[in-house]
Amino acid sequence: MSATATAVLGLAGWFLFLAIFIVMFRGVTMATQGKAANDFCPDGSDVSPFSNRLCRAHANCVENVPLMGMILLYAIASGNTEITDSLAMFLVYARVGQSVVHLISTAAPVVMVRGTLFGVQLGISAWFIIQLLMA
């Protein structure tokens, strides 16, 4: 399997992990606090600051993983994984890193780290698109 294909699965796996984490976190909240399943705010702000950050980290994936996935899948479909293989896993690492940093804190210096990791993802994605267009 190419690094590009591994990255597609890595992005999907991280997306799934965060969704399962939300379900588990809410399940524990329902069991311990008696909260009804249909009584949660979508952003998790009604449970705890961590729950809010978890929901936002997942929402960030909803907003950005499709773009990255499309680029990587295009590379696979067009037979151009040699363009994306070298940086594909760094895209995943930056995505996971951004989510983990988001889960840790929203303090200003930490948000700067998160923004930097997002910038890395945007830069790699832009580089991939430029290189794929020139291929």
3-134 carries CATH number 1.20.120.550: yes
pLDDT digits (tens, 9 = 90+) for 66-78: 999 999 999 999 9
> What are the boundaries of each domain within the chain?
3-134
Cα distance between residue 89 and residue 6, in whole Å: 8
For 46, other C-beta atoms within 10 Å of its C-beta total 13
Place of tokens 């699965």: 9
pLDDT digits (tens, 9 = 90+) for 12-53: 999 999 999 999 999 999 999 988 889 899 999 999 999 999
